[in-house]
Amino acid sequence: MPVRIKIFDTTLRDGEQTPGVNLNVHEKVEIARQLERLGVDVIEAGFAIASPGDFEAVNEVSKVIKDVKVASLARALEKDIDVAWEAVKNARMPRIHTFIATSDIHMKHKLRMTEEEVLERAIQMVRYAKKYCEDVEFSAEDASRTRMDFLYKVIEETIKAGATVINIPDTVGYATPGEFGELIRGIKNNVPNIDKVDISVHCHNDLGMAVANSLVAVENGATQVECTINGLGERAGNAALEEIIMGIDTRKDFYKAGHKIDTTQIYRSSRLVSTLTGITVQPNKAIVGANAFAHESGIHQHGVLAEKTTYEIMKPESIGLKQNRLVLGKLSGRHAFEEKLKEMGYNLTKEQITNAFQKFKELADRKKDVTDKDIEALVEEKVARIPEVFQLETYQISSGDKVVSTATVSVRRNGNVYTEAATGEGPIDAAFKAMERTVGFALDLEDYNLRAVTGGKDALGEVTVRVSKDGREFTGRGVSTDIIEASVRAYLSAINRVLSELGEDIIQR
């Protein structure tokens, strides 16, 4: 039977220690409720003695949370433990979490205490906390840099004093996975009463190994993992809950462990914490980043469309997303583009798809992500419903506040290229006049409209023109990230529409 790993979430305590994060009581309660829905085993709601606000938050969380243990952190001091108990005593399942540093560097420079004094304080404070609360967790701060013989002794004696959970922190993220796994094995093999408690780990990410160290601890006998949503925390943060859980889930064959987390709540939890803390999740963040289930490479897109498991080891639905995301960009292939057109409701011929795909590739070279609105505009503009008598070759514009606007336009017809230049009241007026010269007839511009198809500086601009010829009106549309090019294409579209309706006899060349 798989070992069940308990999840101790410290987003509200260690996560709030992230520089720039300051949650109020209401926000902490909201996150706590979501953590309860997520299914964590323990919520460390704060460090009650740190401030009146922290005390109030721990107290309020303790009152509203019913199905999860609520803990408060406390130094190995009577006053800290007194305040921690006052804060959590209304919880249905309270826990006091007390700690003291055990490494030589911390004992010498921070605590200014001897090993004997630290050991005695740890024993006394676990006993003191036990008077208030049956569930007492003890942490040997900086355990990964502690002399093993001393660490074993502290663990053994605090268990005798009544600790129910022993936490082994890699406080400064110093350990490597091999070392940390060996540390947990050593504790299992050298602390005689270790089987009476849960072994917990609390790993920091200073060297980017918090999740790896947490998972190797699970491999070697840890039964509780301390972590935060999105990996928030001091300095480089903590082990990310979502990565640990999906690591265990995805590699059940390897870890042979279970949990009670509702993984479909992971994405929602991530978004809530990101919104309330103001800490944006990086796009390439594992599990919950915007790109975690996104595919842009044409090879990857083709594989995923054929069989999702070719490039997806997890289902997006498993974390609460509706589906994966095929990002259309310059690396995307025709197969993905066709699928996107079908998804958008277009039923095009091969020639129309080819025309639209060519235009899409041109746009993708200018714009990183091509949106559905971009594609819609491209299809409406490029999928020709009229013969293209004239096709745009090149255009060049010269314009400024101290110069006369000049445009040179080249168009192709029946294999021949025609080039003309003109001046105008602005770059677009000059371009329209140059185009009229190249095609050999003039039009009256009745209306000109420009709008942004999408947001951002690289937005696709859509130009619609309405022109008249011989008493009849015609429209043309053009799209581009360059509004002058969009205008040129719109006018050329109108010209081709005029020719399709009135015939090519009106061309005077």
Please write the tens of the pLDDT for every residue from 132-191: 999 999 999 999 999 999 999 999 999 999 999 999 999 999 999 999 999 999 999 999
Report yes or no: 377 and 396 within 8 Å, Cβ to Cβ: no
Q: Is residue 282 part of a domain?
A: no
- What is the reported pLDDT for 20? 78
Question: Range of 112's domain?
Answer: 3-277
Whether the predicted pLDDT of 378 surpasses 70: no
Q: Is residue 289 part of a domain?
A: no
Query: SS3 sequence, 173-208?
Result: CCCCHHHHHHHHHHHHHHCCCHHHCEEEEEEECCCC
Question: H-type helices in 278-346, by residue range?
Answer: 298-306, 334-343
Residue 363: both structure tokens together: 């746009």
Q: Is residue 284 part of a domain?
A: no
Question: How many structural domains are present in the chain?
Answer: 3
Average pLDDT estimate for 232-250: 96
Residue 44: both structure tokens together: 């460390």
- What is the reported pLDDT for 28? 95
pLDDT > 90 fraction of the chain, expressed in percent and rounded: 64
Q: Please check whether residues 56 and 194 belong to one and the same domain.
A: yes
Q: Who has greater pLDDT, 494 or 174?
A: 174
Please write the tens of the pLDDT for every residue from 175-195: 999 999 999 999 999 999 999
3-state helix, strand, coil in the chain (%, to 5): 45, 25, 30
Q: Who has greater pLDDT, 298 or 450?
A: 450
The answer for residues whose C-beta is within 8 angstroms of residue 82's C-beta and 6 or more apart is none
- What is the reported pLDDT for 371? 64
Q: Please check whether residues 139 and 19 belong to one and the same domain.
A: yes
Q: Please check whether residues 9 and 148 belong to one and the same domain.
A: yes
Report yes or no: 335 and 323 within 8 Å, Cβ to Cβ: no
Q: Please check whether residues 191 and 83 belong to one and the same domain.
A: yes
Q: Please check whether residues 370 and 252 belong to one and the same domain.
A: no
Q: Is residue 283 part of a domain?
A: no
Separation CA 165–CA 154 (nearest Å) = 13
- Local confidence band at 210 (pLDDT 50, 70, 90 cut-offs): very high
- Which three-class secondary structure state does DSSP give residue 100? strand
Q: Please check whether residues 66 and 162 belong to one and the same domain.
A: yes
Q: Is residue 285 part of a domain?
A: no
Q: Please check whether residues 249 and 169 belong to one and the same domain.
A: yes
Please provide the average confidence, as pLDDT, over all residues in the chain. 88
* Of the ranges 239-248, 382-391, 490-499, the best mean pLDDT one: 239-248
Find the CATH number of the domain harbouring 45. 3.20.20.70
Please write the tens of the pLDDT for every residue from 288-334: 887 766 544 555 555 645 666 665 667 778 888 665 554 555 566 67
Q: Is residue 386 part of a domain?
A: no
Average pLDDT estimate for 431-460: 85
pLDDT > 70 fraction of the chain, expressed in percent and rounded: 85
Final residue of a domain: which of 224, 245, 277? 277
- Report the chain's C-alpha Rg in angstroms: 33
